[in-house]
């Protein structure tokens, strides 16, 4: 079985400050990792994904994440946030086998203020 | 850009009633999914569907739930006899091929059971 832990339920940050949203996973097999963003009253939009290769992946809206196998982490970062980044962020994992379901974390609410 | 659509956006129903949630996946996608998110909780996998049959389902997806692809465009989730605990946001998602790991999510249907 696989699971995802997002330790921070809320992260307040000032505009133009850097931010890191933490994600740890557990799985007995190789995994693919994803970050999704959910803006108010909208669906889930893919920010970025790690499938294989370079452990640093870049996504949309200036976000990036680093896969760390030894620490089973996939933290999301942005060097300078904007008010429009205020949203709920979900980390998700999928096993590399035939099952294709996504297992989500509980989400982190990023609140950007002036 | 093609997107997954869901109707209705909000459904209110009485306990014991049947509801059908509708989704139109992206047209050339082959894999379809339903997830749900109870208020304040994580997004949970319900079921995946491929080649006109269920490929995987979770423990949540009991006999009260069913899915169908009645025509070439719609993908529906039916709950036969709703319970209060079925109140949640229900997300539909679709994916293209076996080599594509990204699931595209719809905006969700908020189901309220009274």
Q: How confident is the model at residue B42 (pLDDT cuts 50, 70, 90)?
A: confident
* Chain A residues within an 8 Å CB radius of B107: 41-43
Chain A residues contacting B via beta carbons under 8 Å: 32, 34, 36, 41-46, 49, 51, 90, 92, 94, 99-107
Q: Does B45 touch chain A (CB under 8 A)?
A: yes
Measure B34 CA to nearest chain A CA, in Å. Answer: 10
Q: How confident is the model at residue A27 (pLDDT cuts 50, 70, 90)?
A: confident
**In 3D, which of A67, A86, A82 has the Cα closest to residue A18?**
A82
Cα gap B13→B47, rounded to integer Å: 22
* Angstroms from A42 CA to nearest CA on chain B: 5
Q: Is the pLDDT of residue A99 over 70?
A: no
Minimal CA separation from B102 to chain A, in Å: 8
8-state DSSP, B102 = P
The residue in chain A having the minimum alpha-carbon distance to the alpha carbon of residue B39 is A106
Q: CB under 8 Å, gap of 24 or more: what pairs does B16-21 form?
A: B16/B81, B16/B82, B17/B81, B17/B82, B18/B78, B18/B79, B18/B80, B18/B81, B18/B82, B19/B78, B19/B79, B19/B82, B19/B111, B20/B76, B20/B77, B20/B78, B21/B76, B21/B77, B21/B78, B21/B79, B21/B90, B21/B92, B21/B109, B21/B111
**Paired strand residues for B2:** none
Per CB-CB distance under 8 Å, the chain B contacts of A101 are 33, 45, 48, 56, 58
Decide if pLDDT at A97 tops 90.
no
**Quick check: B41 pLDDT over 90?**
no
User: Quick one: tokens of B32?
Assistant: 């379809």
Whether residues A43 and B45 touch (CB distance < 8 A) is answered with no
**Which of A30-44, A49-63, A86-100: highest mean pLDDT?**
A49-63
Please answer yes or no on whether A42 and B4 come within 8 Å at the CB atom.
no
State how far residue B82 is from chain A, nearest Cα, in angstroms.
23
CB atoms within 10 A of CB B86: 20
pLDDT over 90 at A1, yes or no: no
Cα angle for residues A47, A53, A58 (degrees, 5° grid): 25
Q: Are B103 and A102 in contact (CB < 8 Å)? A: yes
Mean pLDDT computed over every residue of chain A: 92
Question: Could you tell me which of B19, B17, B21, B18 has the C-alpha nearest to residue B8?
Answer: B21
Contact between residue A37 and residue A44 where contact means Cβ atoms under 8 Å apart: yes
Residue A64 has pLDDT above 90, yes or no: yes
Chain B residues with beta carbon closer than 8 angstroms to that of A41: 107
Nearest CA in chain A to B92: A43
| Residues 6+ positions from A98 with CB-CB distance below 8 Å | none
């Amino acid at each position: 079985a696989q699971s995802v832990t997002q330790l921070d339920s809320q992260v307040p940050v000032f505009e133009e400050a850097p931010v890191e949203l933490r994600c740890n996973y557990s799985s007995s097999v190789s995994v693919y990792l994803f970050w999704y963003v959910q803006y108010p009253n909208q669906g889930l939009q893919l920010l970025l994904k790690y499938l294989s290769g370079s452990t640093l992946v870049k996504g949309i809206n200036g976000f990036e994440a680093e896969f760390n196998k030894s620490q089973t982490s996939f933290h999301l970062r942005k060097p300078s946030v904007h008010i429009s980044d205020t949203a709920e962020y979900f980390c998700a994992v999928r096993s590399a086998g035939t099952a294709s379901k996504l297992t989500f974390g509980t989400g982190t609410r990023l609140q950007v203020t002036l | 850009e093609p997107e997954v659509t869901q109707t209705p956006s909000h459904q209110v129903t009485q306990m014991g009633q049947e509801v059908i949630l509708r989704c139109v996946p992206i047209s050339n996608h082959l894999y379809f999914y339903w997830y749900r998110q109870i208020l304040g909780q994580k997004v949970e996998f319900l079921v995946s569907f491929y080649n006109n049959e269920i490929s995987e389902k979770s423990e949540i997806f009991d006999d009260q739930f069913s899915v169908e692809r009645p025509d070439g465009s719609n993908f529906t989730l039916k709950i036969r006899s709703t319970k209060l605990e079925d109140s949640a946001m229900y997300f539909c998602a679709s994916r293209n091929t076996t080599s594509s790991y990204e699931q595209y999510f719809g905006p969700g249907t908020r189901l309220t059971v009274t």
